[in-house]
């Protein structure tokens, strides 16, 4: 049976009345940095987070718990309109918790949320540029000649036309699915290596940034699945003269966005330079394969910064330097980061630790 025939049969069922029931697809991050999900029926339309029940799953099947104590709990933290099922159906982003009331080892959201809650005054915004690479179901780079290579990099970045761009259908479908779900995708472009793409999400404040990025990744994997395409977040999917994939992290606080804010941008860059090693540890696995000092990257071993410099660890956009306020770009994070870890440590380095924040609050209370 052809794919078209199957789709026609499925359509008949998708049009059936759900009789008031709503399907909620619960999504979580597993112990390998991948996304898992499972669906459940709810008996009414959901309008707020507290109406969503907690749930659980078998953590021994996802690297998240031992077999003898395998229940891991799913706590809903955000929900989005479901672009696949539509109607009142939703996708629910969850945090993973252990049976003993502690956050699961791979639940990095919990700590990050605490940091952001301590720093609401700074109004920290992020914009993430998610790069990724597409493969076919047999693990060949999508659209590349069988057993060979395409012509060297050059014509592919933002490329237009046959042979210069691959899988525009997947990318377009993902873009629309994100907008339907309320994800703040700010743009999309083809990358330097053929079949490598990027979407940007943001600016979003605090914890919302990583929530939105994980949801955008989930939607990408689901859309690609329909086209029998695989999504790779590996930072160096192909050795040799092919660009790696990153997740540039653009950052600003309220004071950076106001006139004269460049002063605070410079302070932040100085703070980042002092914690380079600690940051690199959280900036993705195999990132050393990507941060070589070539292919628009800086070396992983030392920190550098510069205006308009795409070979630096941190770049200040030319327009920001000219206007004297705005944001900066941390170019070090790899495509496979957990954005909770990255936005979390950036908040800590730029705005201070939770202890610092609490001390400031106490001081203010006492001397008011
Ligand atoms: P690049 O030139 O590095 O490819 P992009 O246009 O791909 O830049 O991405 C820029 C990102 O910066 C976007 O995600 C955008 O949302 C984000 N951004 C813009 N202004 C701010 C700001 N004030 N604070 C944080 N992020 C911002
Ligand atoms: Mn970009
Ligand atoms: Mn890019
Ligand atoms: Mn960038």
- Assign residue 50 the CATH number of its domain: 3.10.20.70
* Alpha helix (H) residue ranges in the chain: 3-14, 109-118, 168-181, 208-226, 254-257, 262-274, 276-281, 318-323, 339-351, 354-366
pLDDT per residue as tens digits for the range 109-128? 999 999 999 999 999 999 99
Residues of the chain with pLDDT below 70 are: 368
Please list, in sequence order, all residues whose beta carbon lies within 8 angstroms of the beta carbon of residue 97, skipping any fewer than 6 positions away. 72, 73, 74, 75, 103, 104, 107
Domain boundary among 85, 106, 127: 106
Give me the domain span that covers residue 211. Answer: 116-361
Tell me the chain's radius of gyration from C-alpha atoms.
22
Could you give phi then psi for residue 42, rounded to 5 degrees?
-115, 155
Instruction: Check which CATH number belongs to the domain holding 245 and give it.
Output: 3.30.590.10
From the alpha carbon of 256, which atom of ligand 1 is closest?
23
C-alpha span between 306 and 333 (Å, rounded): 17
- pTM for the structure as a whole: 0.96
Same domain, 145 and 93: no
Same domain, 98 and 121: no
Minimal-distance CA residue to ligand 1 atom 2: 317
Q: How many domains does the chain have?
A: 2
Please list, in sequence order, all residues whose beta carbon lies within 8 angstroms of the beta carbon of residue 1, skipping any fewer than 6 positions away. none
Same domain, 123 and 102: no
Same domain, 231 and 276: yes
Q: What is the pLDDT of residue 26?
A: 98
User: Is residue 323, in this structure, part of any structural domain at all?
Assistant: yes
* Distance of CA 191 from the midpoint of ligand 3 (Å): 6
Minimal-distance CA residue to ligand 1 atom 8: 129
Domain boundary among 77, 106, 135: 106
Same domain, 94 and 148: no
User: Is residue 4, in this structure, part of any structural domain at all?
Assistant: no
Q: What H or E segment, with its residue span, contains residue 134?
A: strand 125-136
Q: What is the pLDDT of residue 67?
A: 86
User: Is residue 11, in this structure, part of any structural domain at all?
Assistant: no
Q: What is the pLDDT of residue 267?
A: 98
User: Is residue 3, in this structure, part of any structural domain at all?
Assistant: no
Residue among 219, 232, 165 at smallest CA distance from 193: 165
User: Is residue 178, in this structure, part of any structural domain at all?
Assistant: yes
Same domain, 85 and 182: no
Ligand nearest to the CA of residue 323, numbered in listed order: 1
| Bridge partners (DSSP) listed for residue 23 | 41
Ligand nearest to the CA of residue 253, numbered in listed order: 1
Same domain, 76 and 158: no
| Bridge partners (DSSP) listed for residue 188 | 199
Same domain, 81 and 180: no
User: Is residue 10, in this structure, part of any structural domain at all?
Assistant: no
Domain boundary among 73, 106, 139: 106
Per-residue exposure over 166-180, b if at least 16 CB sit within 10 Å of its own CB, e if not: bbeebbebbbebbee
Please give all residues whose beta carbon lies within 6 A of any atom in ligand 1, as ranges: 125-127, 129, 186-187, 200, 202-203, 248, 250-252, 257, 326-327, 329
């Amino acid at each position: 049976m052809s794919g078209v025939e199957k789709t026609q049969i499925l359509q008949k069922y998708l049009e059936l009345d759900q009789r008031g029931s709503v399907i909620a697809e619960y999504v979580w991050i597993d112990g390998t940095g991948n996304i898992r999900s499972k669906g459940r029926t709810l008996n009414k339309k959901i309008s707020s987070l507290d109406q969503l029940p907690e749930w659980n799953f078998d953590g021994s099947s996802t690297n998240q718990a031992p077999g003898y104590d395998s229940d891991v709990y799913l706590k809903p933290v955000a929900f989005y309109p479901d672009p696949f099922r539509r109607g009142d159906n939703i996708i629910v982003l969850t945090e993973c918790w252990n049976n003993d009331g502690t956050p699961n080892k791979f639940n990095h959201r919990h700590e990050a949320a605490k940091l952001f809650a301590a720093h609401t005054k700074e109004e920290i915004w992020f914009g993430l540029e998610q790069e990724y690479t597409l493969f076919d179901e047999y693990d060949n780079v999508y659209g590349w000649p069988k057993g060979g290579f395409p012509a060297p990099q050059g014509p592919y970045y933002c490329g237009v036309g046959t042979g210069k761009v691959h899988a525009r259908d997947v990318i377009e479908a993902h873009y629309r699915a994100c907008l339907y779900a309320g994800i703040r995708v700010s743009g999309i472009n083809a990358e330097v290596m053929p079949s490598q793409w990027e979407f940007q999400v943001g600016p979003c404040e605090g914890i919302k940034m990583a929530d939105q990025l994980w949801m955008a990744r989930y939607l990408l994997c689901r859309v690609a699945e329909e086209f029998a395409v695989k999504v790779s977040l590996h930072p160096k999917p192909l050795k040799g003269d092919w660009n790696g994939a990153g997740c540039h992290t653009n950052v600003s606080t309220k004071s950076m966005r106001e006139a004269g804010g460049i002063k605070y941008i410079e302070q932040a860059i100085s703070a980042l330079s002092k914690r380079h090693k600690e940051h690199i540890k959280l900036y993705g696995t195999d990132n050393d394969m990507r941060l070589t000092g070539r292919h628009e990257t800086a070396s992983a071993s030392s920190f550098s910064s510069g205006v308009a410099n795409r070979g630096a660890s941190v770049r200040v956009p030319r327009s920001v330097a000219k206007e004297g306020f705005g944001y900066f770009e941390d170019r070090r994070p790899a495509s496979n980061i957990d954005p909770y870890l990255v936005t979390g440590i950036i908040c800590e380095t730029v705005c201070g630790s939770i202890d610092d924040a609490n001390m400031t609050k106490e001081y203010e209370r006492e001397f008011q």
